[in-house]
Amino acid sequence: MIDIAVQKQLGDFALDVSFTAPEGVTAIFGRSGSGKTSLINCVAGLLRPDAGHVRLNGDDLTRTPVHKRRIGYVFQDARLFPHMTVAQNLAFGGDHDRDAVIDLLGLEHLLNRRPANLSGGETSRVALGRALTSNPRLLLMDEPLAALDAPRKAEVLGYLERLCDTARVPVLYVTHDMSEVARLSHTLVIMDAGRVVRAGPVETVLSDPATVPQVGVRDAGAVLTGTVRSFDAADDLTEVALSAASLTLPGRLGPIGAEVRLRVPAQEVILALQPPQEISALNILSCRIDSLVEGVGPGVAVSLSCGGDKLLARVTRRSTRQMNLTVGQPIHAILKATAIAATDVGTRKDRT
């Protein structure tokens, strides 16, 4: 359990943050300048809070010298020692579970290289490995993928998903990328202007229409978890079973029984009063309207229940009025198979 309540004045900027989070990955999400990095620097001890506490399983880290906190920190720019090999950089972190870390992150063939001879993705993996070999009680990651291009980011995301499945330490993961939030985190903390504006389980927070202004219209969307039911090799389509329905998505997403986590953008969901006939979209889900929240522009965020799963749709006020949408009303959510980007889909583990 992480319990954070810190205040810090930084010039004209006031950081005043309070939240608790269970074990697992907690994403700290917000726009640039919201105070995300300042927060985890207070946790790490790189900034001394003016007041408050940072408790990890009951221990107040603010009362512990920085070098005794046992915190692993992965910076955005990696900060590897250029004169050391990969093996030496890992040894600088420590030797805790060294072989397991090397295997987890696929570092065996890189051990004799120096940082100048690594790709961006390889550099990020080594920085992560160095943090893990230090036997941390808490792992901090500050935008670790922000400097990578799309192929390298996809590569490292796969390793991070494996880490999230196997790590026994809590993680605070700073990002402004909602795909990373959806694929990696269990808990989401949204920051704005130095304060927490929303915190809770990621599925709950992102399916709430009130969250749309806080994450932005383009990033708004629900997170779903399902299992791979089947794969159609002829059409290159995977069927993912949800609690009361299924989704058909492009590509092979994993073996039968594998857990799949995905983000469904609210702006990609179309609503219909009746089941549509003879349309190209492969996904038509029977839902119920839980709530409707009007935005400051022309949009209305609609929260939907589909069995035990929550969806979010964004439609116009005109459509809401013309369809006479109301809370409790049955509705059909329509989603093209190609509406969910590959970067928004992660395969976690075999559940069989």
Q: What is the DSSP string of 166-191?
A: H--S-EEEEES-HHHHHHH-SEEEEE
48 or 68, which is more confident = 48
Q: What pLDDT does 145 receive? A: 86
In a domain? residue 168: yes
Considering the domain architecture, whether residues 114 and 141 belong to the same structural domain is answered as yes
Collapse the DSSP code of 132 into the 3-class scheme (helix H, G, I; strand E, B; otherwise coil) and give the result. helix
pLDDT tens, 309-319? Answer: 999 999 999 99
Mean pLDDT of 228-237: 95
How far, CA to CA in Å, does 154 sit from each of 88, 89, 250, 275? 26, 24, 17, 36
As a whole number of angstroms, the distance between CA 138 and CA 23 comes to 10
Q: What pLDDT does 352 receive? A: 38
Average pLDDT score, the chain? 90
pLDDT tens, 142-197? Answer: 988 888 888 888 888 888 888 777 767 899 999 988 989 988 888 999 999 999 99
As a whole number of angstroms, the distance between CA 44 and CA 136 comes to 12
148 or 82, which is more confident = 82
In a domain? residue 214: no
pTM of the model: 0.88
Structurally, how many domains does the chain consist of? 2
Q: What pLDDT does 235 receive? A: 95
162 or 260, which is more confident = 260
Which residues form the domain of 32?
A: 2-206
Considering the domain architecture, whether residues 178 and 277 belong to the same structural domain is answered as no
pLDDT at 283 over 90: yes
Considering the domain architecture, whether residues 236 and 299 belong to the same structural domain is answered as yes
| CATH number of the domain that residue 186 is part of | 3.40.50.300
Given the structure tokens 């994993």, which residue do they identify? 254
Considering the domain architecture, whether residues 202 and 238 belong to the same structural domain is answered as no
Collapse the DSSP code of 275 into the 3-class scheme (helix H, G, I; strand E, B; otherwise coil) and give the result. coil
Considering the domain architecture, whether residues 169 and 67 belong to the same structural domain is answered as yes
Considering the domain architecture, whether residues 202 and 245 belong to the same structural domain is answered as no
Q: What pLDDT does 350 receive? A: 47
Q: What pLDDT does 259 receive? A: 92
Q: In terms of Cα–Cα distance, which of 83, 4, 82 is closest to 49?
A: 4
Helix axes 86-93, 120-132, angle to 10 degrees: 30
pLDDT tens, 88-121? Answer: 999 988 888 889 889 888 899 999 999 999 988 8
In a domain? residue 293: yes
Alpha-carbon dihedral 165, 171, 176, 182, rounded to 10 degrees: 30
Split at pLDDT 50, 70, 90, the class of 349 is: low
How far, CA to CA in Å, does 105 sit from each of 92, 99, 163? 17, 10, 8
Given the structure tokens 């901090």, which residue do they identify? 140
Q: What pLDDT does 196 receive? A: 96
Q: What pLDDT does 162 receive? A: 80
Q: What pLDDT does 32 receive? A: 87
Q: Which residues pair with 19 in a beta bridge?
A: 4
How far, CA to CA in Å, does 100 sit from each of 78, 135, 347? 21, 12, 21
Split at pLDDT 50, 70, 90, the class of 216 is: confident
pLDDT at 126 over 80: yes
- Dump the DSSP string for 33-46: TSSHHHHHHHHHTS
As a whole number of angstroms, the distance between CA 281 and CA 252 comes to 19
Least-confidence region, from 68-82, 188-202, 313-327: 68-82
